[in-house]
Chain A
């Protein structure tokens, strides 16, 4: 053991002691509550836009994961979480409309990433064209809620906003359908081929979206579709009754915030139940060893298709929401970089891990949409004051570098992610912990271990 290792060992044991102290008796309740109170107070008392608030928002979202991991009663976790996300965040959103948008996006990407996690994390199928299903959902609502539809079905008028709710379900179904259609030909392929082929399919969908303005104008080509319909604000009277006097834009922000929160909660529930079922076990088995899985009676293609369809259906629904939220969609929104961005969320958090994937989504979205642009603008302020920062250094411009480094570094140093999947924790009986991974002894091939007959 080198000196470095020993130091690391001491550090870990110190950490373990700290954890043990913080995790005993009422300590976790007090600590979590204190954390929650401080962060909430900071948000509500100082709702300005700036680097400081950025950090507090990050701490607020990390608090969710602290609550999840803290050794407290489930009821406590749920109550605290509901108060924070259901009351504190919206109130903060009313005070400062900038952040709730970012948080809504983070929720949306968390939901998307959970869908991809079903495919990549649970079933082990590397899908590099995941954003195609997102695009399908977005274009579905984009076309049906705007005059584009009249180009396809002559005489049909755009659907009004109330149809949005039905389209959430239709997006789910169409996403699943596309998942099956695109999955059917490719799911027999070996893992690395599958990755490249799904990447190709994702590009095909994007190229089609760019070029299907002729001969019939379906997608409006590179210009994209604007003025996508929004659902009616049926909650408006409720806001008024609460004494809120806010603009329609803000009302929609809150509306979409709660919608995304609801969908995310449903997604988590669905993914959790699937993972701990016959279906989820079959997926993990396929990921671990396809040959053994099929020999144990798991129908490979059917289960893979199911994973593809489930993942794609989440993306389809989220696409419908995305187009209504943005009211504008165009092909570059759905490029390979977006797919890889979602993949890097799953990988950062931990493939196969539900809380990990959400953590990854939150970190990557915040970095991408909030922190990097903020750091960039702070740097440029410093620059103008004469601090020698090279002018080319603009962190907001280097999304690819960020995603790329994230992927390489995670693969080399922590392929299991920040919050790895832990199947053992899910079992009811945690008492009998195993001895630390005694490296599986490689049996000598039988021919060498045993004397040959007669020898």
Chain B
């Protein structure tokens, strides 16, 4: 079943075309990677999917609904959530509060009930905290829930970002370079966590990733962008052998030497 279908997406900034006529179909329950050299338009593509940028051209259907042109918060409420390439936590809030912010759209407490602190509000708040702690336990951060987010070590911050994204109760989660800057051991852990997102929580995962080991291990399908254009799409093995991909990464000359090098 198709969960998300991006149809001929183009995004231009002034004269610069960052994403050019890219189409992408994501099946529910799959793990898909988007790869490409730096500046290929991967993050811009994520920003278009999550509503931070409006596409210049093209349509995006999520679960049968058209979402291009919606605000990011509306898209999040529909069930798409993301993490950021350069971690964007709420630094002066505690770990627990960061997760609670993620639940914003799922909670109902409005102005007057909050001011009067009604039993309904109190019950909702209690339930939200319980749920937030479940999520923190899932990413192994529950014991650090009262710390300020900015004081966490790097790897914990990455996992907190995932917990915060999970708090929005997404069906599709977009991870922007989830293992960037990690050592091999942390990378392995992160890879396991990404698999658990799908296997334990039943989410659909799309990730931007530079580490080819991660990409080739967990992706079911891979899409390759270069200069804003989709140059290849397919199973990991197909991508590995695709001359255009090798050319994009290594330049024209290297393409002649065959594809086995891509795995790096």
Contact = CB atoms under 8 A, between A and B. Distances in A.
A204 B25 CA distance: 53
A440 B115 contact: no
Given A279-B111, A295-B50, A454-B246, A449 B180 contact: yes
B117 A273 contact: yes
A292 B84 contact: yes
A338 interface: no
A285 interface: yes
Interface in A213-228: none
A435 interface: yes
A424 B94 contact: yes
A447 B145 CA distance: 32
Interface string B42-71: 000000001010000000000000000001
Interface string A270-289: 10011001110110110011
A281 B90 CA distance: 10
A437 B111 CA distance: 35
Nearest to A421: B92
Interface string B98-120: 00111111110111001101000
A69 interface: no
A438 B151 contact: yes
B226 to A, nearest CB: 13
Nearest to B263: A453
A429 interface: yes
A435 B151 CA distance: 8
Contacts of B97: 281, 284, 423
Contacts of A424: 94, 146-148
Contact of A297 (B77, B92, B182): B77
Interface residues of A, number: 49
Nearest to A284: B93
A192 interface: no
A451 B264 contact: yes
A297 B103 CA distance: 8
A316 B111 CA distance: 18
Contact of A296 (B85, B104, B109): B104
A299 interface: yes
B250 A423 contact: no
A434 B111 contact: no
A445 to B, nearest CB: 8
Nearest to B246: A454
B76 interface: yes
A455 interface: yes
Given A435-B151, A437-B150, A440-B150, A297 B102 contact: yes
Contacts of B93: 281, 284-285, 288, 423
B45 to A, nearest CB: 15
B234 interface: no
B181 A274 contact: no
A430 B147 CA distance: 9
Interface in B246-264: 246, 249-250, 254, 261-264
B114 A278 contact: yes
Contacts of B81: 295-297
Contact of A300 (B73, B92, B111): B73
A452 B262 CA distance: 9
Given A273-B117, A278-B114, A432 B144 contact: yes
Nearest to B167: A296
A293 interface: yes
A450 B181 CA distance: 8
Given A278-B109, A435-B151, A454 B164 contact: no
Given A288-B90, A423-B148, A440-B157, A296 B168 contact: yes
Most chain A C-beta atoms within 10 Å of own C-beta, residue among B52, B76, B165? B76
Interface in B210-264: 210-212, 246, 249-250, 254, 261-264
B90 A285 contact: yes
B2 interface: no
Contacts of A451: 264
Interface in A411-454: 421, 423-424, 427, 429-430, 432, 434-435, 437-438, 440-441, 443-447, 449-454
A291 interface: yes
B101 A298 contact: yes
A424 B151 CA distance: 12
A278 B104 contact: yes
Contact of A446 (B164, B180, B261): B180
A294 interface: yes
A437 B151 contact: yes
B82 interface: yes
A343 interface: no
Given A430-B146, A446-B181, A282 B101 contact: yes
A79 B27 CA distance: 63
Interface string A17-28: 000000000000
Given A288-B93, A440-B150, A454-B246, A277 B88 contact: no
A199 interface: no
Contact of B249 (A270, A292, A452): A452
B147 A432 contact: yes
Given A279-B114, A449-B180, A296 B249 contact: no
Contacts of B254: 454
Nearest to B98: A285
B72 A454 contact: no
A297 B105 contact: yes
Nearest to A293: B101
B264 A455 contact: yes
B210 A447 contact: yes
Given A423-B97, A450-B211, A270 B52 contact: no
7 contacts: A274-B115, A278-B125, A284-B93, A289-B89, A297-B105, A440-B154, A450-B211
**The 7 residue pairs across chains A and B that have the minimum distance between CB atoms:** A443-B181, A297-B105, A454-B261, A297-B76, A446-B180, A292-B88, A453-B264
Interface of B: 37-38, 50, 52, 71-74, 76-77, 81-82, 84-85, 88-94, 96-97, 100-107, 109-111, 114-115, 117, 121, 125, 128, 143-148, 150-151, 153-154, 157, 164-165, 167-168, 177, 180-182, 210-212, 246, 249-250, 254, 261-264
Given A278-B128, A284-B93, A441-B153, 18 more contacts: A273-B117, A274-B111, A274-B115, A282-B101, A284-B90, A284-B97, A285-B101, A288-B90, A295-B72, A297-B73, A297-B81, A423-B93, A424-B146, A429-B145, A432-B143, A453-B262, A454-B246, A454-B249
